[in-house]
């Protein structure tokens, strides 16, 4: 199997066959992200992709149930290309149940509803969307390239096509200055969008990123661990999902939570209240255990 550069996949794709179709990210401007800096986005050579599919088919063909396509934004590729690729995957893996991939708001909005429905009918089962924030000022500062309204439209289009939607949001990305409004607006956006899954990660400022430079210049101040938990509490308070999972159990988070909405919401808020009130650092994950 041919893998170029850093390979990123969602935690829920741990048991999937990881197939690299593109290299890099089509947007690649987010101030907090170190992953694809200095890498030009490109579609890999078709002969390499076809060989990977053939090798995986011969070795694991009858065992593969899920395939995850990376890197950063495979969905931006033309629908005709994706349909042809999905057809190859279904032939190679007779028991294939789901294809997953990352999609940003711009790439989703470039697809019509009919195109997304076709992709769904041909195997696309889940799209992972990095929302990060529901607040337009925060999105602008981190150079996400879209507004909250566009994020909402993109998420709803995926769901309308019958495809599962998993979104990520970033605790702390608004800094201390915008922490509360970031939490409120993100919760409101999630409520209106109604994704199947929400993953709340905590921003980690990485050397070499524009956000790191902003922090060094005093233009960005990261909330403290307990302030981040207060932000998470406000976000959950403003998030009303009819169903689905709200997960804050990523390796970057200080207090792992897995909330089945809506039934676990009150319990999660009570726990956050207790930890925030007591300010006992023993409840928190040590810094040396935190990671991207």
Alpha carbon distance 95, 39 (integer Å): 35
pLDDT band of 221, cuts 50, 70, 90: very high
What confidence tens digit (pLDDT) does each residue in 257-273 have? 999 999 999 999 999 99
Averaged pLDDT, 35-44: 86
Averaged pLDDT, 88-112: 96
Residue 79 predicted with pLDDT over 80: yes
Q: Considering the entire predicted model, what is its pTM?
A: 0.94
Long-range contacts of 217-220 (CB under 8 A, 24+ apart): 220/175
- Alpha helices by DSSP H, listed for 93-209, are 105-109, 113-121, 136-141, 148-160, 179-193
3-state DSSP assignment of residue 197: strand
Helix (H) or strand (E) holding 70: strand 66-70
The predicted structure's pLDDT at residue 46: 96
> Token pair for residue 17?
């066959």
The predicted structure's pLDDT at residue 35: 86
- Structural domains in the chain, CATH included, are 11-289 (3.20.20.70)
Residue 247 predicted with pLDDT over 90: yes
What confidence tens digit (pLDDT) does each residue in 130-168 have? 999 999 999 999 999 999 999 999 999 999 999 999 999
Residue 38 predicted with pLDDT over 80: no
pLDDT band of 288, cuts 50, 70, 90: confident
Alpha carbon distance 161, 103 (integer Å): 14
Averaged pLDDT, 103-119: 97
**68: nearest Cα among 123, 9, 119, 121:** 9
């Amino acid at each position: 199997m041919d893998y170029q550069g850093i390979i990123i996949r969602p935690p829920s794709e741990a048991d999937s066959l990881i197939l690299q179709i593109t290299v890099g990210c089509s947007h690649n401007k987010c101030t907090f992200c170190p992953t694809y800096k200095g890498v030009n986005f490109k579609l890999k050579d078709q002969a390499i992709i076809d060989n990977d599919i053939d090798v995986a088919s011969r070795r694991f063909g009858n065992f593969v149930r899920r395939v995850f396509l990376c890197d950063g934004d495979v969905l931006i590729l033309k629908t005709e290309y994706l349909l042809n690729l999905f057809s190859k995957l279904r032939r190679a893996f007779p028991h294939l149940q789901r294809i997953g991939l990352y999609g940003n708001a711009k790439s989703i909005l470039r697809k019509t509803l009919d195109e997304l429905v076709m992709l769904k009918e041909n195997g696309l089962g889940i799209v992972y969307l990095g929302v990060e924030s529901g607040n337009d000022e925060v999105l602008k500062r981190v150079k996400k390239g879209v507004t909250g309204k566009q994020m909402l439209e993109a998420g709803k289009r995926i769901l309308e096509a019958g495809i599962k939607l998993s979104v990520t949001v970033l605790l702390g990305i608004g800094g201390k200055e915008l922490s509360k409004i970031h939490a409120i607006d993100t919760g409101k956006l999630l409520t209106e969008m109604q994704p199947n899954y929400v993953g709340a990660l905590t921003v980690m400022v990485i050397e070499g990123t524009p956000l790191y430079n902003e922090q060094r210049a005093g233009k960005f101040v990261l909330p403290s661990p307990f302030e981040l938990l207060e932000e998470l509490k406000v976000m959950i308070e403003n998030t009303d999902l009819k169903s689905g999972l709200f997960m804050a159990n990523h390796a970057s988070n200080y207090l792992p939570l897995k909330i089945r909405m809506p039934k676990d919401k009150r319990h999660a808020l009570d726990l956050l209240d207790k930890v925030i009130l007591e300010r006992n650092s023993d409840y928190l994950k040590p810094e040396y255990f935190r990671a991207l």
